[in-house]
Amino acid sequence: MSVRAVLFDAGNTLLFLDYGRLARAVTPVAGMRLTAEGLAAAAVPAAREVEGGGDSEHERAARYLDALFRLAGVARERLRDVATALRRLHHERHLWSAVAPRTAEALKRLRAAGLRLGVVSNSDGGVEEALTAAGLRPSFDVVVDSASAGVEKPDPRIFNLALAALGVAPAEALYIGDIYEVDVAGARAAGLTAALVGPAGAHAGGDVTVAPSVAELIDLLVRRGELTFDPVRAREPTR
């Protein structure tokens, strides 16, 4: 497909928890030795466990962290102490501030091709802060945070807000996320093409392109001819 814009999810797509930092900080109160590898392995099942709930995004974020550490082996009775340690760590630096290798390079590649870039995230109002902490905010023309928008994925209206701000039609945009039921379902309902970041076989749907990172996904889509872009057309205003 030829696109004029690429939209991204934030958490577990562009931004990740710094698992090494979390493991070092939380091990003293967890009752076990945590590792970056163990937390990373729990990330996808934890995200799938909590997405789509009816609670607020702030509550969902707290449930995600609980699920992450519980699935990594921390006993339930230790989770309150874990939450306290995480709040202290977050005040020092945003928890979601790690970026996969070559992500910034991939974003620069897309921008150099004239594409408009945006973020559409189910968040608690802090996605701009997280992108800034990770050094990625300047790469994006628009950031839509569900807490500010008043609507969240998979509702197609949140995608429409970003597309309207960019002046791009749905059929001219690609959305990259990490949860099939939320990101792919929502993007397709809004008329966008979708792809996923994450381990192969970890997602519910088998009808979507998946790669381990944003950079690898862009490489794969371009190599397969599934993502093409015309720099001149990309810069043209929508008529």
* Distance, CA of 211 to CA of 193 (rounded, Å): 15
Q: Which range marks the domain in which residue 28 is found? A: 19-94
Residues 171 and 188 in one domain: yes
pLDDT score of 122 more than 80: yes
Residues 90 and 187 in one domain: no
The pTM of the full predicted model, rounded to 2 decimals, is 0.86
pLDDT score of 151 more than 80: yes
* Most distant CA atoms of the chain, gap in Å: 60
Bridge-based pairing of strands 5-8 and 116-121 is parallel
Confidence of residue 19 (pLDDT cuts 50, 70, 90): very high
Structure tokens of 9? 């999810």
Quick one: DSSP state of residue 184? I
Residues 86 and 120 in one domain: no
Choose among 214, 215, 7: nearest CA to 119: 7
Task: Choose the weakest-confidence range: 25-34, 91-100, 110-119.
Answer: 91-100
Structure tokens of 78? 């230790």
pLDDT tens, residue by residue, 166-223: 999 999 999 999 988 899 999 999 999 999 998 765 555 678 999 999 999 999 999 9
Residue 200 pLDDT: 63
Residue 202 pLDDT: 57
* Distance, CA of 134 to CA of 50 (rounded, Å): 24
Last residue of a domain, one of 94, 122, 150: 94
Residues 65 and 105 in one domain: no
Residue 93 pLDDT: 84
- Residue 237: burial class (beta carbons within 10 Å; 0-12, 13-18, 19+): exposed
**Which distant-in-sequence residues (6+ apart) come within 8 Å of 61 by Cβ?**
123, 124
170: domain CATH number is 3.40.50.1000
Residue 109 pLDDT: 94
Last residue of a domain, one of 43, 70, 94: 94
**Which distant-in-sequence residues (6+ apart) come within 8 Å of 101 by Cβ?**
213, 215
pLDDT tens, residue by residue, 51-107: 666 566 678 788 999 999 999 999 999 999 999 999 999 888 888 889 999 999 999
